[in-house]
Chain A
């Protein structure tokens, strides 16, 4: 039971971080399908820190540096979207799809090159191991393993809510996602705001990536990307109605479903049902479709999301 709670919280943290990222981008008017790719690159950055930073540096520097580097990696990668979508008015869906392919291929090539060079061609895998560094992130409270990332996610939630709904910045950002021409007419720099939205989504997406790959395992195979978690986060964002607090609740629900797939073997009554494990793997996706089917009728995306900003139109 405690294990279920622990996995629920950690997966919810991932989904919440990434969905909040998507929320910032869409609120500013840019659809970010590339979150999956951003997660991969963020995870790569974090995993490299955890592999190469000596464990002796202590908990706080390790957590801080990992968080900063993965956020930075995500941020830099999100520039691919920002430049294409904001400066060149490219189709945001194609750009995002390309970013997802690019991230997995790029991360695989990079990690393989690194492993190959380090082992003189004996190790051609795309794995990064971070077993010892991972222990630093965990505080054992009885049987429950508290992960510092959970705290990071909670802080990000509070900051996101305040930034979007209690600050001038948030009001301006949201206006650019609804009616950019109107925003421009009152002196808001639409392109700057959209850059801010996309870069924040890169930051949160990158962070989500490192939390995801450290959630259950201590070796990650980068060939696999992040297995559709970025897309699941987009569903969480829609279900959460583009609002931080509702996104948090949606993330808890989806996190629970995902966690069930990891720990169902620990429950006798679930084992008795003798359901194949693929059904548990499928569950979050099936349920998110069902949930979306029931909630999308009235859901309203930011009005200008996905439409390149053109000064000339009204």
Chain B
């Protein structure tokens, strides 16, 4: 019995899961303490309301909010896939935030200005985001510019450019872009009747199953194809890959392109549901991309883990709106998710502790065996 327990704990996946749960627990505890500091009286109610998220609602509206949350989970999944794909090839794609913005720009402009149907819009969004990724990749391979730094610069450039371009299709009354459904209903993603499962929530579309399919595809590409192997080899050792005859520069640029396209697809799959419009006056890069980083690491850098952790992060963020806004503020959920990502940096350490514990226990067992049943 005990022996089988140990071998389960030895599996890498379970260790990652335990570490991620520890991160979540840590984030929630600190979040609770912060609530206690702000106002001790309602803190317990607040954290419970936050964790209940959309389960606070009953019946049909619960399903409706579940659908809405799933629709918003989709871009998170894709952004985290974008981050982990690049990370496996040894690059930290912090530019995912800007690629997401470029994706939104491409698909919304195509939908609102050129009145294209949804598929071309989606592809244009992906192309715009992929272009941004390629720029970072080329700068890395040809000019030796650190991907993190160029990514950050490109984030801001993409944001300002997007505000400029989407400013041309904004509605005259508000700072938001024109309503997608009112202007060009053809551009809305098809739902194939899925919305009936979620109390006719209009934001439920094929985006949700599509995101899961793409996560599986990324898993297969990375783990089961020689293309994925080559990319990972380039990430592990650039010079060794070159020596082995791989096109190392091409691999890096290709990775950034795919990574960018994933982020852009994420943006398209959100904005083409018509769930929200782009605000052309925002002055900071949307948090979506950065949350994607959090999701990727919380999910243990596995595509399947991304799906679960993306849903969790969206769940917590939605819950942030549940706290009593007279006393607390909804940013408490961003605080919790940023704490979780900070703790994710310690995942290697948590795993080390688990392994240390396992080794100690093994030594103890062996020592007991040596004693030959002297005890009792």
Partner-B contacts on A (CB < 8 A): 33, 80, 84, 88-91, 93-95, 97-102, 104-106, 108-109, 112-113, 116-117, 121, 124, 223-225, 227-228, 231, 234-235, 238, 276, 278-279, 281-282, 285-286, 288-289, 292-294, 296-297, 299
B residues near A293, Cβ cutoff 8 Å: 139, 143, 145
Q: List residues 310-351 of chain B with CB under 8 A from any CB of chain A.
A: 325-329, 331-332, 334-335, 337-339, 341-342, 344-346, 348-349
A294 to B143 CA separation, bound complex (whole angstroms): 7
Q: Whole-angstrom distance between the alpha carbons of A38 and B118 in the complex?
A: 42
Contacts of A289 in B (CB 8 A): 139, 145, 150, 153-154, 157
Residues of A within 8 A of B331 (CB): 105, 108-109, 112, 223
> Smallest distance from the beta carbon of A96 to chain B beta carbons, Å?
9
13 contacts between A and B (CB under 8 A): A93-B148, A99-B342, A101-B290, A101-B294, A124-B325, A224-B283, A225-B284, A228-B156, A231-B149, A279-B164, A285-B157, A286-B157, A292-B153
- CB-contact partner of B329 in A112, A224, A296, under 8 A: A112
* B345: chain A residues within 8 A (beta carbon): 84, 88, 90-91, 94-95, 98
What's the minimum C-beta distance from A11 to chain B, rounded to whole angstroms? 15
- The answer to whether the Cβ of B144 comes within 8 Å of any Cβ in the partner chain is yes
Which of A88, A225, A296 is in CB contact (< 8 Å) with B145?
A296
- Residue pair B156, A285 in contact (C-beta under 8 Å): yes
Closest beta carbon of chain A to B258's beta carbon, Å: 20
* B152: chain A residues within 8 A (beta carbon): 228, 231, 234
* Chain A residues within 8 Å of B337, by CB: 101
Which residues of B are interface residues toward A (Cβ below 8 A)? 34, 38-39, 92, 94, 139, 143-146, 148-150, 152-157, 160-161, 163-164, 283-285, 287, 290, 293-294, 297, 325-329, 331-332, 334-335, 337-339, 341-342, 344-346, 348-349
Distance in Å: Cβ of A112 to nearest Cβ of chain B: 4
> How far, in angstroms, from A223 to B94 measured CA to CA in the complex?
20
| A contact patch SS | helix
**Bound Cα distance from A231 to B150, whole angstroms:** 10
Q: Which residue of B lies closest to A289 (CB)?
A: B153
A281–B160 touching, CB < 8 Å: yes
Known: A105-B335, A282-B156. A94 touches B327 (CB 8 A): no
- CB pair A235 B284 closer than 8 Å: no
Inside 8 A of A227's CB, which chain B residues have their CB? 283-284
A53 to B285, CA, bound (A): 34
Looking across the interface, which residue of chain A has its beta carbon closest to that of B31?
A109
**Judging by beta carbons under 8 Å apart, are A116 and B326 in contact?**
yes
Given contacts A289-B157, A293-B145, 7 further A-B contacts (CB under 8 A): A88-B349, A93-B148, A97-B293, A102-B339, A235-B149, A279-B160, A292-B150
Which residue of the partner chain, among A102, A112, A276, A288, contacts B164 with CB atoms under 8 Å? A276
